[in-house]
Structure 1
Amino acid sequence: MTATIDVARLADLLREAAKAEIMPRFRNLSDGDIREKTSATDLVTEADEAAERFIARECRSLLPDALFVGEESVAADASLLARLDEADLAVVVDPIDGTANFAAGVPLFAVMMAVVSRGETVAGLIYDPLGDDCMLAEKGAGAQRRLATGETFPLATAAHVPLSEAVGCVSYTYFPAELKKAVLPRLGDVKVSANLRCAGHEYRLLASGGSQFAVYSKLMPWDHLPGVLIATEAGGHVAKIDGTPYTPRDRQGTLIAAGSEESWHAAREGLFPGA
């Protein structure tokens, strides 16, 4: 199945969608182009919807037998998530990861895609429209950074350092209240902690050796499938807080992605003692 996936062409597709539908709208949205979904920090814009339509249309010709699962498509038809669990082949897309940043004019957002075959992620891509490059991975083939020219460079995660010297991204926005109260005071033990409000860039940072770990508690597939594969193929270690693997079927729980297994254990023990 993996051999039939043209990952380079998928990277080009994300770039084309960004240039056609996302970047012309960046810092150029009217009030009517931005809407709340579940809260003031959970937004959708005209750019999200237009980019997803663009990607879906092209995917129908590139992978005609694949189920298309986009974040905005699921907002309209929640049954798509259940179909993803059973699909022989699926394409999972976040047309703009970091929509709140995008809507506020903050230049920190990404376009993400994963290809899932029978419950296993076999390809992952995270495109940065502003940097105009894509991080991508295929299962078992390593992870790369691909420039707009097509030139590629291998990715590698960072070596382990003590938590007191580590850089970590902690996406605490969606932590349950009690978990947030427990974890936030412990971030003082971390050298640098950040919440970029964009999982795509947090995974890019991890996969390129810029951080030691990232922590999440909202596990929607479009937010994590691409980054988990890229980070893992770059040499990282990713698992739920109980040590079990993350899969496309996981929707709840706490996820730790780290540059190494040692860094994963350091993050769990330092931020979630007794877990």
Structure 2
Amino acid sequence: MTDSLPMPISAPITPAQRTSILNLLRRAARAEILPRFRALDPSEISEKTGRQDLVTAADKGAEAMIARGLQRMYPHALIVGEEAVAEHPEIRDRIGDAELAFTIDPVDGTWNYAHGLATFGIILSATRFGVPVFGMIYDPILDDVVMAETGGPTELVFPRRRLSRHLTVSPGGPLSELQGFVPLYLFPEDKQAQVAAVLPRFERSHTLRCSAHEFRLFAQGSVDFLFSARLTPWDHAAGALISKCAGGHVAMLDGSDYNAKLRDGVLLCASNKETWERIRDAFSFLLDPPTEG
């Protein structure tokens, strides 16, 4: 008897499965997230690693509901939820070896959510041996979703209206005409001053404190690039795939491919390879070894 071969990296999530996953996210939003929005008791908000890293009862409740639903649909899949990993860090170590894993960020943009800002979303991805093969970013407020799978387009779907449209990144251009997202506070402290010195070279740079909406805006061509630092698979795996399927050039700053198992490095998504290279060259100092104190 021969050993069974792993499923191909490009194996898709079927249309019926996509619908089931989306419905699961919508139910979790209605049950756990939306009822608490702008109604959180202070006792339902706590810090994880510091004042800027919050978790709420909505994060925990939504993740538990989504994880249960996914495990019923995919009994043998690894479920990598942000809040579960906070309690059991060893879960994350298994993602690179998992034939099928799902990452969950139940409320991406928790700081915004906890302060009453409507810029938050649910991020979900499916990976095979760390390679993203399916991504979904759901906006509970507007009840729409951006999704993509390997080899297909990036779609913006309006479930209630049964409408969808394909998304395409911007045409890019010279640095002085680019707008993008640069999370300055997430870069290594010894590099932040150098990063800040580059920012005036762009037409505009800012951050939403929410990967979900930053990736959505990039995929629909509203901005030309985005950086992701302090890599976490629940924040970046879905967005990396969605950005690529929308026509963007997606790679680590050293030129290597993104993988959800990565913990170090900087992910750069840009409109095309030429634009990506211009931005990479402007931030090439980020590839230098850390400065010793």
TM-score after normalising by structure 2: 0.91
Shift of 1:7: 1.8
**Residues 5-35 of structure 1: per-residue CA shift (max 9 Å, x gap):** 4223212221221111101101111110000
The one of 228, 253, 259 aligned to 2:240: 228
The one of 163, 167, 172 aligned to 1:151: 163
Once residues 50 and 99 of structure 1 are traced to their aligned partners in structure 2, the CA distance between those partners, rounded to angstroms, is 13
Shift of 1:119: 2.6
Shift of 1:176: 0.9
Number of the residue aligned with 1:240: 252
Pairing 1:1-275 to 2, within 5 Å after superposition:
2-5=11-14, 6-149=17-160, 150-272=162-284, 275=287
Consecutive unaligned residues of structure 2, counting only runs of 5 or more, are: 1-6, 288-293
Shift of 1:99: 0.5
Contact kept? 1:15, 1:132, Cα under 8 Å: yes
Q: Secondary structure at the match of 1:244?
A: coil
Q: Secondary structure at the match of 1:58?
A: helix
Once residues 78 and 274 of structure 1 are traced to their aligned partners in structure 2, the CA distance between those partners, rounded to angstroms, is 27
Q: Secondary structure at the match of 2:145?
A: strand
Amino acid in the other structure paired with 1:85: G
Shift of 1:272: 3.4
Larger Rg: 2
Shift of 1:148: 2.0
Q: Secondary structure at the match of 2:169?
A: coil
Shift of 1:57: 1.2
Q: How many residues align?
A: 275
**Residues 31-70 of structure 1: per-residue CA shift (max 9 Å, x gap):** 1000000010001000000000110111122222211110
Contact kept? 1:21, 1:47, Cα under 8 Å: yes
Once residues 4 and 15 of structure 1 are traced to their aligned partners in structure 2, the CA distance between those partners, rounded to angstroms, is 18
Once residues 52 and 132 of structure 2 are traced to their aligned partners in structure 1, the CA distance between those partners, rounded to angstroms, is 28
Shift of 1:243: 0.9
Shift of 1:259: 1.6
Amino acid in the other structure paired with 1:57: R
Shift of 1:103: 0.6
Once residues 175 and 237 of structure 2 are traced to their aligned partners in structure 1, the CA distance between those partners, rounded to angstroms, is 26
Once residues 98 and 218 of structure 1 are traced to their aligned partners in structure 2, the CA distance between those partners, rounded to angstroms, is 15
TM-score after normalising by structure 1: 0.96
Consecutive unaligned residues of structure 1, counting only runs of 5 or more, are: none
When the two chains are superposed, the root-mean-square deviation of aligned CA atoms in Å is 1.4
Once residues 175 and 285 of structure 2 are traced to their aligned partners in structure 1, the CA distance between those partners, rounded to angstroms, is 13
Once residues 174 and 253 of structure 1 are traced to their aligned partners in structure 2, the CA distance between those partners, rounded to angstroms, is 11
Once residues 271 and 90 of structure 1 are traced to their aligned partners in structure 2, the CA distance between those partners, rounded to angstroms, is 32
Once residues 17 and 215 of structure 1 are traced to their aligned partners in structure 2, the CA distance between those partners, rounded to angstroms, is 29
Once residues 244 and 265 of structure 1 are traced to their aligned partners in structure 2, the CA distance between those partners, rounded to angstroms, is 13
Once residues 262 and 153 of structure 1 are traced to their aligned partners in structure 2, the CA distance between those partners, rounded to angstroms, is 26
Contact kept? 2:38, 2:116, Cα under 8 Å: yes
Amino acid in the other structure paired with 1:56: A
Contact kept? 1:172, 1:216, Cα under 8 Å: no
